[in-house]
Structure 1
Amino acid sequence: MTATAPAAAPARARSHLANDAWEATMAAHATLMRRFAAEDLWSDVSMREYDVLYTLSKCDEPQRLSELGRHVLLSQPALSRLVDRLVERGLVARCADPSDARAAHLTLTPTGRDLQRRIGRRHGASVARAMTAALTEEELTLLESLTHKLSQEHRS
């Protein structure tokens, strides 16, 4: 047995633990998303469309499609088509980008903002019910802290 063999076992165990944690995170996400998708609160939008409306609602100023794409889990072509549909329905508006005539900025219309708020109140209550039913306040705080830490690591 070499001197490095004992150190290799903990590294493998840590790698296994990391993969198990990732798998559990993804399973929890999938379970919750199926639950939320099945709820009768989405009105005239899909969950993906709502995700775009929600993301734009958090922005203080209009966003480029590329910036929006950093926060929405869709490919650029799929996001572009989805935004086109939201523009056609009067929920999102395009405005000229003052720094680049080839680009456009996206923002919620008053109708889009109203719809996002209406759905958002119901969805937020549903999320709170699901999360507080399964986790204590201390666990919720820890989960929030850990997921923010992972998100920050990803941005580095």
Structure 2
Amino acid sequence: MRELAQDFPIGSVTLSEYDVLFTLSRYPGRTARLRDITGQVFLSQPSVSRMVDRLVGRGLVSKGQDPHDGRSAIVTMTEQGVHEFRAAAVKHSRTISEIMTAALTPDDMSELARITAKLHRNGPGEPTA
């Protein structure tokens, strides 16, 4: 994790911000309820709320009221947010690849791919907004 964290900040995105943007990127329309984001990241609800407000201020996400639940907020990644996220993801993916190929043999990588596929097939599936 220390090696991965050294990638950040990438451009204007910190590791925690990347985590929030990554989470949003997995939802249809890059839109999710604030409470769903909080359930997916390693931050407290107040920390996620403050971070989302900072991301709104920088134009990386927008935030509005959930039309189905007035107590909940809806967060959407903006085009600028998509651009920043993709730039960070390319660099971050490269680092992950370098770490894994340095530590794992081709047989290890095959086994990891097999186990990952099994987890994906048997896991809870993709998040839904």
Scaled to the shorter chain, the TM-score interval is: 0.7 to 0.9
User: How many matched pairs?
Assistant: 120
Are 1:54 and 2:25 counterparts?
Answer: no
Q: State the partner residue of 1:111.
A: 80
Q: Which of the numbers 99, 103, 110 marks the counterpart of 1:134?
A: 103
Q: State the partner residue of 2:57.
A: 88
Q: TM-score by structure 2 length?
A: 0.80
The one-character-per-residue Cα deviations of 1:10-51 (angstroms, maximum 9, x if unpaired) are: xxxxxxxxxxxxxxxxxxxxxxx2112223661112101111
Q: Determine the C-alpha separation between the residues in 2 that align with 1:141 and 1:68.
A: 31
- What is the one-letter code of the residue matched to 1:85? R
Q: State the partner residue of 2:43.
A: 74
CA shift, 1:64, in A, is 0.7
* Bigger radius of gyration: 1
Q: Determine the C-alpha separation between the residues in 2 that align with 1:148 and 1:108.
A: 28
Q: State the partner residue of 2:3.
A: 35
Q: Compute the RMSD of aligned alpha carbons.
A: 2.3
Larger relative helix fraction: 1
Q: Is the CA contact (8 Å cut-off) linking 2:8 and 2:14 kept in structure 1?
A: no
Of structures 1 and 2, the one with the larger relative CO (CA 8 A, separation 6+) is 2
Q: State the partner residue of 1:148.
A: 119
- What is the one-letter code of the residue matched to 1:43? G
Q: Determine the C-alpha separation between the residues in 2 that align with 1:111 and 1:101.
A: 27
Q: TM-score by structure 1 length?
A: 0.67
